[in-house]
Structure 1
Amino acid sequence: MKDDQIITRRRALLAGAVALGAAGVAGAVGVLVPDTVEEPVGPVAGAAGAPARRLASKPSVYRLEPLTGYGVPRAAPRRTLVRHEPLLRMSGRGRTMVLTFDDGPDPRYTPGILNTLRRYDVRAMFFVCGEMAVANKDLLARMADEGHIVGNHTWTHPLLTRLTRSRIRSEMERTCDVIEDAYGERPLWFRAPYGAWNRAAFQLGAELGMDPLAWTVDSRDWTEPVPGTRTIVDRVEGGAAPGVVVLSHDAGGDRSHTVQALRDYLPRLLDSGYHITVPRRQYA
């Protein structure tokens, strides 16, 4: 056999081997990612959007995912419904309540609230102001680690009904950005300062992917003079009922009574059979 024929045959064999090897690799190689468990949270009536959840990683457990282009097609993101009034309470059966804390995070009071929630393995919602969040990103990171929900409460806590549309957008967007940076996800919930809603707030909130959440029970811990611990406890326990959303504050003044009140009423609510949870976003 001539030398040039030998070379040609070797090249053909080599090309065939490479093709077979490539086919085998394409059939076996996947992307290694940590296995995760999604932890759903309780529902809110008529809420729209993707479920609010926390991903709890399992150490040293992995699964193969298909290469891009070979998996199940991802659905297009759905638009958030533009509402005309805020959500006030949760739907569903059972003695379920939501605890919310506004205006923080404040390093003087928020850690005490987080400590109590962690002690009783309870999750809550924190509607943060951007100007407070940007100075206390570590507290937002802790909220994420411990499974709490962080919502948008504007940047400077203004009365939205007195602002232009562009100013409202700026207040919302800046706060969304700092929450995403510190918490790890953009907020899915929005609460207007003072409970003062208008059409622009609903529309802009929806454009930014957020649902409006108000409250059912006001602890009135924001009033002056500051109510004592016993008064706050009585208001929360007196308003306790299935589906209610409780409003308290972890910033904006002396909130030491709020911190102590939570230590008092939380174990009693749990002992009474209440399940304290956070709302689930649902598509309308």
Structure 2
Amino acid sequence: MDAFKKDQMIPGRRAVLRIAAVLGAVGLTRLLSAGEAAHTPGRPATASPPAGSPAAGPGAAAVPRRPSSYRLSPMTEFQPPEYRPARLPVRREPLLELPDLGRSMVLTFDDGPDPHYTPGVLKTLRRHDVRAMFFVCGEMATGQRDLLREMADDGHVVGNHSWSHPELPKLRPGRIRAEMERTSEVIERTLGRPPAWFRAPYGAWNRHTFEIGADLGMEPLAWTVDTLDWKSPGTGKIVRSVMDGAAPGAVVLSHDAGGDRSQSVAALRNYLPGLLSQGYGITVPRP
């Protein structure tokens, strides 16, 4: 009788085990599906846009948002490799010139983008089919993303010039990182790739700016020709400073924001054709 009872219980146990196995498989499938939806490229989690963005407001659709690559614990394993900041060696001083460009020069514009002056700079560069570098401030760029896209569409290089243009060596390392990270985030979210170049406001560098910049995948670039256009010295003086400093590999500093830059825009219309007529190429570096 005991043996009979045991034999009768075995099929029951098997049935229970089969049911448990089926339920477990269903649960596992759902778990794997949830994990795939959270991590598969092309299917990012959605998040509400930041306040003040065009998509914000009642009834606005959620905007897909890729996890930031600038956090302490970045989730970058599924980003395309070309979008990840490269690990660069830490420099002790910025690059002043770019001698590997042959008989070419680099024109750079700081502090923008500004809706009043940056379009004029872009128009002149487009007319002569040349490329330049724009070192943008995050607090300016966040409200002028269309200008960032226009720069990139025209083949210009968009670099990082901090968020609010402070004198970085006077800040704590955490504040320096925040200034640089926030601007890199704006650039990457707008253009789809992080900046590869950084310029410290006022040309004020220290060990932390070099270390943090390298950690974020950016090379530090200074200049060899300072037009001093921020002083509004007159269009003629700006033109002469550029023409006098012209040389292979020279890097020219100008501004397209931060004040009245009408002289800077007018000077570019004068010295750019002059440089080209002297046989200089106007180009941008490639990291």
Q: In the alignment, what sits opposite 2:201?
A: 193
AA aligned to 1:227 is: P
Q: In the alignment, what sits opposite 1:101?
A: 109
Contact 1:205 1:212 in 2 (8 A): yes
Q: How far off is 1:180 after superposition?
A: 0.8
CA offsets 1:78-105 (integer angstroms, 9 cap, x no match): 5211100000101236321000000000
Q: In the alignment, what sits opposite 2:276?
A: 270
Q: In the alignment, what sits opposite 1:130?
A: 138
Larger RCO of the pair (alpha carbons < 8 Å, separation 6+):
1
Question: Per residue, is there more strand in 1 or in 2?
Answer: 1
Closer, same or farther in 2 for the Cα pair 1:152/1:77, shift >3 Å? closer
For 1:177 and 1:145, locate their aligned partners in 2 and report how far apart those are by CA, in whole Å.
19
Find out whether 1:238 has 2:239 as its counterpart: no
AA aligned to 2:192 is: G
Q: How far off is 1:111 after superposition?
A: 0.1
Q: In the alignment, what sits opposite 1:253?
A: 259
For 2:194 and 2:233, locate their aligned partners in 1 and report how far apart those are by CA, in whole Å.
34
Q: How far off is 1:185 after superposition?
A: 1.4
* Correspondence list, 1:43-54, <5 A: none
Find out whether 1:143 has 2:151 as its counterpart: yes
The number of aligned residues is: 206
Contact 1:233 1:261 in 2 (8 A): yes
AA aligned to 1:170 is: A
For 1:78 and 1:142, locate their aligned partners in 2 and report how far apart those are by CA, in whole Å.
25
Q: Secondary structure at the match of 2:230?
A: coil
Closer, same or farther in 2 for the Cα pair 1:97/1:164, shift >3 Å? same
Question: Per residue, is there more helix in 1 or in 2?
Answer: 2
For 1:201 and 1:79, locate their aligned partners in 2 and report how far apart those are by CA, in whole Å.
15
Closer, same or farther in 2 for the Cα pair 1:96/1:190, shift >3 Å? same
- Any gaps of 5 or more consecutive residues in structure 1? 1-73
Q: Secondary structure at the match of 1:126?
A: strand
Q: Secondary structure at the match of 2:268?
A: helix
Q: 2:227 aligns with which of 205, 219, 232?
A: 219
For 1:184 and 1:230, locate their aligned partners in 2 and report how far apart those are by CA, in whole Å.
39
Closer, same or farther in 2 for the Cα pair 1:105/1:77, shift >3 Å? closer
What is the alpha-carbon root mean square deviation over aligned residues?
1.6
Q: 2:90 aligns with which of 72, 82, 91?
A: 82
For 1:103 and 1:168, locate their aligned partners in 2 and report how far apart those are by CA, in whole Å.
17
- Any gaps of 5 or more consecutive residues in structure 2? 1-81
For 1:269 and 1:260, locate their aligned partners in 2 and report how far apart those are by CA, in whole Å.
15
Find out whether 1:164 has 2:172 as its counterpart: yes
For 1:94 and 1:128, locate their aligned partners in 2 and report how far apart those are by CA, in whole Å.
27
Greater C-alpha radius of gyration: 2
AA aligned to 1:171 is: E
Contact 1:144 1:184 in 2 (8 A): no
Closer, same or farther in 2 for the Cα pair 1:195/1:78, shift >3 Å? closer
Closer, same or farther in 2 for the Cα pair 1:278/1:255, shift >3 Å? same
Give structure 1 regions of 4+ aligned residues with deviation exceeding 2 angstroms: none
Find out whether 1:174 has 2:185 as its counterpart: no
Q: In the alignment, what sits opposite 1:22?
A: none
Contact 2:87 2:216 in 1 (8 A): no
Q: How far off is 1:182 after superposition?
A: 1.8
Q: In the alignment, what sits opposite 2:100?
A: 92
CA offsets 1:130-184 (integer angstroms, 9 cap, x no match): 0000010000000111000000000000000110000000000000000112222
For 1:158 and 1:118, locate their aligned partners in 2 and report how far apart those are by CA, in whole Å.
31
For 1:95 and 1:108, locate their aligned partners in 2 and report how far apart those are by CA, in whole Å.
32
Closer, same or farther in 2 for the Cα pair 1:203/1:108, shift >3 Å? same
Contact 1:143 1:183 in 2 (8 A): no
AA aligned to 2:151 is: M
Q: How far off is 1:255 after superposition?
A: 0.3
Q: Secondary structure at the match of 1:187?
A: coil
Instruction: Calculate the TM-score normalised by the size of structure 1.
Output: 0.70
